[in-house]
A and B are shown apart, each in its own frame.
Chain A
Amino acid sequence: MSTEGKRRRRGILSTLEFIAAYAGANLSMAMEYKAAFLTQLVSMMVNDGMWVVFWVLYFHRFPVVRGWERGDVIVLWAIVAAGFGLGHGLFGNALNLSRVIYEGGLDAYLTQPRDPLLHVLVSRTSPSAWGDFLFGVGVFLGFCHPDPARLALFVLGTLVVAAMHISLAVIAHSLAFFIGDAGTLADQVYFAFLHFSTYPSAIFSGLIKVILFSVLPAGFISHMPVGLLREFSWGYTAILVGVSLALSLGAVGLFRLGLRRYASGNLLTIRV
């Protein structure tokens, strides 16, 4: 391996260690309030469970709707919940990013050696997101007939969904660099994306389908991972990984573009 290759590999390993170290610290901090942490975990699992109950009732009445069956929606919920949970568990500050930018809170991250976007994202966890993650994994293991091949695809789907969710949250919240207090707008965009991604893609058609595979790419989440688990295809896999990479690069690019416009808030903060 060339020196450049070794350096890149070391860089990736160091970044993964950094993320893992923050995840561990964030989790142990959240566990300080054990009852509250467990409550949030269980509450979120109940919340997700109720949506699955809705779909079970729906498909009990209408067993097949445009090729979608109960099992497909359960797989969809398993992947979306696990991906959302993993993303916001590890990068729990994604949905606060606009507030951090707007209030000048980036100063503390800009002076440190790590990439400011990565650093700001990992500096917090969302305890309830771990409930989503456990729910997704539990549902997949319990109800989606896991075998090694399907498990590998589930892991891939979870990683892709996590990357897409965090990227879209970063893109929406980076609007704060350009329009100021973008919190409400960013939340609306992000939660619309989340909502669309939990419904079978087959119910959408025409212009809205085009939007769901372009501007608001929820269609890639609600269509492709389920399609992959139904019938594996290298083409689907390549598209899914490609889209999540493109979205991640777009998020990093927009954040860096916005960072050029960022003016320090002269905010004195202490990060413990």
Chain B
Amino acid sequence: MKAAVQDARGSWLLRPGAQLAKYGEVVKITVMSQLAYWLNELARALFMLVVIFVFAQLWRTTYTSLQVNAIGGFAFPQILWYLVLGETIYMGLPRVSALVDSEVKSGQLAYTLNRPYSYALYHFGLYLGKLALALPINFCLGGLVAYLQVGLPPFAWDSLLAALPALMLGLTLHFLIAFAIGLLAFWFEDTASFYLLYSRVMMILGGMLLPLDLFPQGLRQVAAVLPISLIIYAPAKLAVGAGSETLSAGRVLLAQGVWIALVCTVTALIYSRGVSRVNVHGG
């Protein structure tokens, strides 16, 4: 086994392009299989229309009742487009942990151990492939409602340039967390509850339902130090360019990099501990 691992490391050093191309193919095949059922994907995402429409009504009422132009540094169009981005990300996240959980429990993971690819990177490829269709569909549907309510998005080019890498790193961070939760199936009967807890905390402290700028001071400080605020809140706020406190793109990217390194190390540890518990029987 050690020799195989060393070979794998060696091949990364000698031929990084070929290694990347392998996972690129996983992304491509996933996108193609998703495209074959694009109508299904679209039908599933129709709920975005309802969610954004209801949010638009809620915040329009809030702004008109208070007779203010900005709340927590957000004008009405900014908060609505922020919510479109937040919902686009949240509702587009593929079910990584459920898939890993089922593969660990069914023993399917054992089949991948002697194959010439990394189990984690293979899943990351699947994840990116699914996101490649889910995110644009969600954004178009949510954006359509927002456009009809408040007009074009208030995104400046420089804000978008800052938001895109933050979005990619945020999605990577989410993948690592979800993947680690799925791997807990080595020790726990059911990891769905862990994921549900994480995803529901993301709804609030991740800023999906409400930008952190509108939180009470204490809660905002707690949320700001947690990695989940870097998945939805940070990219969405950078894109909209609003809020009571300015978010520095450089600091966001640095924080995401640090958290990715940290979670990646913990995930690798969980994976190596978990895989050492696998018993393969012939037959």
- Asked if A pairs with B, the answer is yes
Give A residues with C-beta under 8 Å from B: 35-36, 39, 42-43, 46-47, 49-50, 53-54, 57-58, 60-62, 65-66, 184-185, 188, 191-192, 195-196, 199, 202-204, 208
With contacts A54-B203, A195-B50 known, is A46 near B197, CB below 8 A? yes
11 pairs, CB–CB < 8 Å, chain A vs chain B: A43-B196, A50-B200, A53-B204, A57-B215, A62-B62, A66-B61, A188-B43, A192-B47, A195-B51, A203-B54, A203-B58
* Contact A57–B204 (Cβ < 8 Å): yes
A54 surroundings in chain B (CB, below 8 A): 203-204, 209-210
Give B residues with C-beta under 8 Å from A: 40, 43-44, 46-47, 50-51, 54, 57-58, 60-62, 65-66, 71-72, 189-190, 192-193, 196-197, 200-201, 203-204, 209-210, 214-216, 219
* Contact B204–A43 (Cβ < 8 Å): no
Q: Which residue of B57, B58, B60, B193 is within 8 Å of A42 (Cβ)?
A: B193
* Contact B197–A195 (Cβ < 8 Å): no
Q: Which residue of B54, B192, B193 is within 8 Å of A196 (Cβ)?
A: B54
* Contact A188–B47 (Cβ < 8 Å): yes
Q: Which residue of A39, A46, A202 is within 8 Å of B61 (Cβ)?
A: A202
Whole-angstrom distance between the alpha carbons of A192 and B57 in the complex? 15
* Contact A184–B43 (Cβ < 8 Å): yes
Whole-angstrom distance between the alpha carbons of A4 and B132 in the complex? 65
With contacts A66-B61, A184-B43 known, is A58 near B210, CB below 8 A? yes
With contacts A57-B204, A61-B214 known, is A188 near B46, CB below 8 A? yes
A39 surroundings in chain B (CB, below 8 A): 190, 192-193
* Contact B193–A199 (Cβ < 8 Å): no
Known: A46-B200, A47-B200. 10 other contacts (CB 8 A): A43-B196, A50-B204, A54-B203, A57-B215, A57-B216, A61-B72, A191-B47, A195-B50, A199-B54, A203-B54
B229 → A minimal CB distance (Å): 15
